Structure 1
Amino acid sequence: MACFFRRKIAAKLAEALQQSDDAFIPVLTVIPVLKKQQSADFRLSLGTLRSNGILPSSGEIQLQTENLVAQLKPDSVVEDITAGHGLINFRVNRSLLAEKLLEPFAEGESHNFGLNSKLLDTLKRGTTLVEFSSPNIAKKFHAGHLRSTIIGNFIANLKQSLGNNVIRMNYLGDWGMQFGLLGAGFSRFGCTEKLKENPLQHLFEIYVQTNKEAEQNEDIKRAAKDFFRQLEQHESQAMSLWQQFREITVNEYKHIYKRLGIHFDVYGGESFHQDQAQEVVQELQSLGLLKISDKGTGVVDLSPNGVMSNICTLHRSDGTTLYITRDIAAAISRKEKYSFDEMIYVTDKSQENHFNQLFQILLQMGNSWANRCRHVSFGLVKGMKTRTGEVVFLEDVLDEAQARMLHNMNQSNTTKELENPEDVAEKVGMSALIVQDFKGPLQSDYKFDWDRMLQAQGDTGVFLQYTHARLCSLIQRNEGVETNTFNPSCLSDQTGITVLQHLLRYDEVLYQSHQDLQPKHLVNFLLKLSHFIASAHRELPVKGSPPHVAQARLRLFKGARSVLASGMRILGITPVQKM
């Protein structure tokens, strides 16, 4: 595997420069491969060695490069070492490349390929808490929550695959003044029958109607404030109605998460931290951090020179707490309960200031672990429409993706006879949604495009699924070919070598994804792999080839399929075997 070659090259460098092997593992990079072009496999930048203090930063860099190359002798593993301007390129033995890289696939699938790499050993592991999705109770799952849900799931999957203990938390918006409106509105506009038939739709309609009426009617505003105060004081009637709304909503959400292939370890919520939020206010007071404004609200001054230019409100003048107060309480409670090593919040970029304030206040309170809390933000999705118009609810998007995909599959000549075409269409439609979302930087807004997203050719989730299903079919058709017997020298064609060179990069791509928590690295790696597989499928036939050649090629295709499936699962995509 890649780690075998990385270790061998690192050992050579360590011997020449009298350093530990470990110093070179993170700075050796795999050279991205281009179709049909021969290239070396690993690269070392002397600029990196200089900045790391391994080499002196003075002197002519090209001369330094050539001097180091002169000390590094090729051998049976590294057969060619060349100097570029400030770069050293290493080309490994082609037969050994095939042997080592495809070794794990002798028995079929290998879910650990690339994960036991020396490069990934340099990462810190521990308990990671990921808070994502976090929709609001008593409202249908809004399409806007899709990004938080799939991005958070990717981060949780990635961290878990790299050996972390991951806690997936859904922190529901189940408290606050909107429940005052809903509680006051339900007594006026609620209908028990409608609540049974279509619970979230009915609650959504009540909320919209109450909100509209409250604009002109002071009585409804007062009733809403009164209901929320009853909740804060735990009055039984208000609490019972709130509990009913919460249970209805969680059950409805679980149905959608099942469609998305996502699970949570914990369903938390703001309501869990209402009492602790009052304790936070008292602690801030005792630390001298809480000030009372002219309006009677409790605020913390976050400006660097104490001139109140950047204040954060922690409680209203009537003493009720706010979202950020409950977030502070939730963070402290989670640290005590789960002893996490890092906590990651996944929300849209409009909340960046909220999380900056949250982390600052936690630090001011003496919680040094707040430095290990991180906000992963993302941009907006624009133009998400179904055939019936603007999308509001996520289920509409999932239904539309499934329906369109099913239509496309029915039009295709290559569609196989499927036992459950609706299920396949659901999975492929979901992968199309995920890949369209993940191709670019998360911070960017992007324009939603049904037609481009569902194309079978091009850089789409459909293309990934098609490639995986095609490999499954190829392997199934050649079941009689023995792959335990494997002659790596039979994979000397450039098309096969290109696939192998690309697989070398897998651990590096996972490392890069871990560093910035951006799924685009993995998406682009898998799309490129799929293009290389398409060429290999055309040019390296298994059927009709001599047995030893067929065996080697089938091993290559098995390895490629396994890595493709592993990468797709990390992204949150369920690979299909037929389509």
Structure 2
Amino acid sequence: MAACSFRRSIASQLSKVLDLPPENLIKSISAVPVSKKRQVADFQLSIASVTEDSSRNCLAQDPQLQAQKLAERLKCDAVVSEISAGPGTVNFTINRELLAKAVLQQVLKDGSEYGVKSELFSTVPRQKAVIEFSSPNIAKKFHIGHLRSTIVGNFIANLKVALGHEVTRINYLGDWGMQFGLLGVGFQRFGNKEKLKSSPLQHLFEVYVQINKAAEDENTKELAKDFFRKLEEHDEQTLSLWKQFRDLSIEEYIRIYKRLGVRFDEYSGESFYQEKSQEVLKMLEDKGLLQKTTKGTGIVDLSEKKDLSSFSTVMRSDGTSLYITRDLAAAIDRMNKHSWDTMIYVTDKSQSNHFQQLFQILKLMGYDWAERCQHVSFGLVQGMKTRRGEVIFLEDVLNEVRSRMLQNMASAKTTKEIEDPMETAEKVGLAALIIQDFRGLLSSDYQFSWDRALQSRGDTGVFLQYTHARLHSLEQMHGNKQLTDVNVACLQEPDAISVLQHLLRYDEVLYRSSQDLQPKHIVSYLLTLRLQKNMSSFSQVEEAVGKKTLAHCSGGSSSSAAFRSL
């Protein structure tokens, strides 16, 4: 692509001066972020990155002087029109006509794969990835953490697919444990079959709340234990009721996830690994890793000195498994089934210790692939409430965002008459939720604000979606004519150059997000791209290549992998 060819040209000249292979230099040459205040060069080389590798100590120790001396030894050519020194950097300005022609032609040539074909990804092997995300607990509150897990996991899966990886998306439901003993007894006492069929998540939650209030009674506790014991023993009637809870809940989840544009390849759950977890306990025992406490619980010593200063409990005193035991069984089973290269768990940061212990036990068991397991954690969100009060289910969030967006659309003077305002309101509202969530580091907590998220102006998902739709409208309006020539003389004004410079950075942004799995790089890129497209840059690019191409390069193909990721 254009950025790659420019990097290669710069690296080729640098390699002769620094006596380093060009391939060692390419990743040290980065596109310069655009600036509102001043014109900037197109690429820069960090002096620190080359002096660490350089075998020739030909440069001075001061970074500014180092940059100056290196810049003096380089020459402009047909590609590079200007070379200058910055604070610890050497800056390269590309021939302006070549920049415009190369970028636009590359955008048109690569289409939706613009940025993906970059040399930056040449050393990144295509992989099989298993991603576990969302994972709500049946009959319990679908809290904001599950919503965040859903959209973050979906982003990671979409990004990996856009970059050519093979992805399996798993929703690992909390569908086993003593809470189902309580739920079973609660349904026998408070349940309604009609309500269960019409609104399973809501009704099971109501039943669970009611039975929890009664759970202080010892008789209720014993009944719950007895129900769960029957469940573990596969009592036909008990298992049938549990299966009904699970199946109806999954049907409801699928319907709600469809509204979000999220899908899963597998609906798994703790219940799948009830028996396999016993096999894991046997393996731990055979390897001498399972120890018993005086109370009869099973633990694995995780301390370096083997003094039990750090350990994980993997078995109850009655011999039954725990959450981590079932996670161990699930990890082993997924490797056997999918032969994955990487497995990613997307949960809130409160579970960081759980996953550290999980990966450590897998290593102790001799599974070297545990090194390729990863926990992507995220912070907490405060303030997510509907007008009716605290958020209980994901559907409450979706209904709220649609309702508020409809109200905003109705009160805005610029809103045009559209065929399906409900659908439009939901899609634009979802973009607003996602962009607000993805603007910062995932690990950071943040205070949610409906008003801020749904603003129609500024750095918001609403305005980003509006810009994207506007550009696609231009594309549709002007047909699918093939570009025959580019009048680059129309693209020499600062505004037009800024858009072209920004497009140069797209592969670096994708690469950075692919490395740390943070969506904020792509969100920041898209918001900045939107800001670059003021009316003067619109008119210049339209004059050069036609409105159809503007939509293609600025809002369609060049950002399509980013939009697919989000």
Q: In structure 2, what is the Cα distance between the partners aligned to 1:280 and 1:261?
A: 36
What is the Cα deviation at residue 142 of structure 1?
A: 3.4
Residues 102 and 556 in structure 1, CA contact (< 8 A), matched pair in contact too: no
What is the Cα deviation at residue 100 of structure 1?
A: 1.2
Sequence identity (%): 55
Counterpart of 2:484 in structure 1 is 484
Residues 471 and 556 in structure 2, CA contact (< 8 A), matched pair in contact too: no
What is the Cα deviation at residue 489 of structure 1?
A: 2.6
Counterpart of 1:566 in structure 2 is 560
Stretch deviating more after TM superposition (180-189 or 48-57): 48-57
Counterpart of 2:356 in structure 1 is 356
Cα deviation code 1:266-289 (max 9, x no counterpart): 111111111110011111111111
Residues 513 and 522 in structure 2, CA contact (< 8 A), matched pair in contact too: yes
SS at match of 1:111: helix
Q: For residue 51 of structure 1, what is the amino acid of its counterpart?
A: E
Residues 379 and 444 in structure 1, CA contact (< 8 A), matched pair in contact too: yes
Aligned to 1:81, which of 80, 83, 86? 83
Alignment of 1:117 onto 2:124: no
SS at match of 2:27: coil
- Cα RMSD of the aligned pairs, angstroms, is 2.0
Stretch deviating more after TM superposition (50-59 or 349-358): 50-59
Q: In structure 2, what is the Cα distance between the partners aligned to 1:285 and 1:45?
A: 54
Residues 184 and 223 in structure 1, CA contact (< 8 A), matched pair in contact too: yes
What is the Cα deviation at residue 515 of structure 1?
A: 1.6
Alignment of 1:99 onto 2:101: yes
Alignment of 1:50 onto 2:44: no
Q: For residue 466 of structure 1, what is the amino acid of its counterpart?
A: Y
Counterpart of 1:546 in structure 2 is none
Matches within 5 A, 1:372-391: 372-391=372-391
Counterpart of 1:232 in structure 2 is 232
SS at match of 1:166: strand
Q: In structure 2, what is the Cα distance between the partners aligned to 1:83 and 1:284?
A: 60
Over 3 Å counting, the alpha-carbon distance change for 1:332 and 1:481 in structure 2 is closer
Residues 541 and 550 in structure 2, CA contact (< 8 A), matched pair in contact too: no
Alignment of 1:274 onto 2:274: yes
Q: In structure 1, what is the Cα distance between the partners aligned to 2:561 and 2:113?
A: 11
What is the Cα deviation at residue 123 of structure 1?
A: 2.3
Q: For residue 561 of structure 1, what is the amino acid of its counterpart?
A: G
SS at match of 2:75: coil
Matches within 5 A, 1:150-161: 150-161=151-162
Give me the TM-score of the superposition, normalised by structure 1.
Answer: 0.93
Cα deviation code 1:432-490 (max 9, x no counterpart): 00001001111111111011111111111001111112223334455598743322232
What is the Cα deviation at residue 14 of structure 1?
A: 2.1
Matches within 5 A, 1:514-533: 514-533=514-533
Stretch deviating more after TM superposition (70-79 or 398-407): 70-79
Cα deviation code 1:393-450 (max 9, x no counterpart): 1111111111111121222232223111111111100000000100111111111101
Counterpart of 1:545 in structure 2 is none
SS at match of 1:376: strand
What is the Cα deviation at residue 70 of structure 1?
A: 3.3
SS at match of 2:35: coil
Cα deviation code 1:137-193 (max 9, x no counterpart): 234643331100000000111111112111111111111111111112222222212
Matches within 5 A, 1:150-299: 150-215=151-216, 217-299=217-299
Q: In structure 1, what is the Cα distance between the partners aligned to 2:25 and 2:59?
A: 20
Over 3 Å counting, the alpha-carbon distance change for 1:468 and 1:22 in structure 2 is same
Q: In structure 2, what is the Cα distance between the partners aligned to 1:254 and 1:57?
A: 63
Q: In structure 1, what is the Cα distance between the partners aligned to 2:27 and 2:51?
A: 14
Stretch deviating more after TM superposition (482-491 or 465-474): 482-491
Over 3 Å counting, the alpha-carbon distance change for 1:234 and 1:505 in structure 2 is same
Q: In structure 2, what is the Cα distance between the partners aligned to 1:80 and 1:367?
A: 54
Q: In structure 2, what is the Cα distance between the partners aligned to 1:271 and 1:438?
A: 33
Stretch deviating more after TM superposition (410-419 or 556-565): 556-565
Q: In structure 1, what is the Cα distance between the partners aligned to 2:375 and 2:546?
A: 46
Q: For residue 417 of structure 1, what is the amino acid of its counterpart?
A: E
Q: For residue 467 of structure 1, what is the amino acid of its counterpart?
A: T
Over 3 Å counting, the alpha-carbon distance change for 1:35 and 1:481 in structure 2 is farther
Cα deviation code 1:225-274 (max 9, x no counterpart): 12222222222222111111110000000011100001111111111111
- In structure 2, stretches of 5+ residues that fail to align are none
SS at match of 1:138: coil
Q: In structure 1, what is the Cα distance between the partners aligned to 2:347 and 2:131?
A: 11
Cα deviation code 1:350-377 (max 9, x no counterpart): 1011000001100111111111111011
What is the Cα deviation at residue 198 of structure 1?
A: 1.8
Q: In structure 2, what is the Cα distance between the partners aligned to 1:452 and 1:236?
A: 52
Counterpart of 1:13 in structure 2 is 14
Give me the TM-score of the superposition, normalised by structure 2.
Answer: 0.95
Stretch deviating more after TM superposition (463-472 or 139-148): 139-148
What is the Cα deviation at residue 201 of structure 1?
A: 1.4
Cα deviation code 1:81-130 (max 9, x no counterpart): 112243111111111111111114447x8101111000122323311111
Residues 196 and 204 in structure 2, CA contact (< 8 A), matched pair in contact too: yes
Residues 113 and 557 in structure 2, CA contact (< 8 A), matched pair in contact too: no
Residues 171 and 269 in structure 1, CA contact (< 8 A), matched pair in contact too: yes
SS at match of 1:399: helix
What is the Cα deviation at residue 72 of structure 1?
A: 2.2
Q: In structure 1, what is the Cα distance between the partners aligned to 2:98 and 2:258?
A: 44
Residues 471 and 557 in structure 1, CA contact (< 8 A), matched pair in contact too: yes
Counterpart of 1:337 in structure 2 is 337
Residues 140 and 201 in structure 1, CA contact (< 8 A), matched pair in contact too: no
Q: In structure 1, what is the Cα distance between the partners aligned to 2:350 and 2:480?
A: 57
Q: In structure 2, what is the Cα distance between the partners aligned to 1:191 and 1:261?
A: 31
Q: For residue 165 of structure 2, what is the amino acid of its counterpart?
A: N
Q: In structure 1, what is the Cα distance between the partners aligned to 2:61 and 2:195?
A: 79
Over 3 Å counting, the alpha-carbon distance change for 1:18 and 1:390 in structure 2 is same
Q: For residue 401 of structure 1, what is the amino acid of its counterpart?
A: V
What is the Cα deviation at residue 59 of structure 1?
A: 4.1
Counterpart of 1:577 in structure 2 is none
Stretch deviating more after TM superposition (450-459 or 532-541): 532-541
Q: For residue 143 of structure 2, what is the amino acid of its counterpart?
A: H
Stretch deviating more after TM superposition (245-254 or 24-33): 24-33
Over 3 Å counting, the alpha-carbon distance change for 1:69 and 1:136 in structure 2 is same
Aligned length: 564
Stretch deviating more after TM superposition (14-23 or 369-378): 14-23
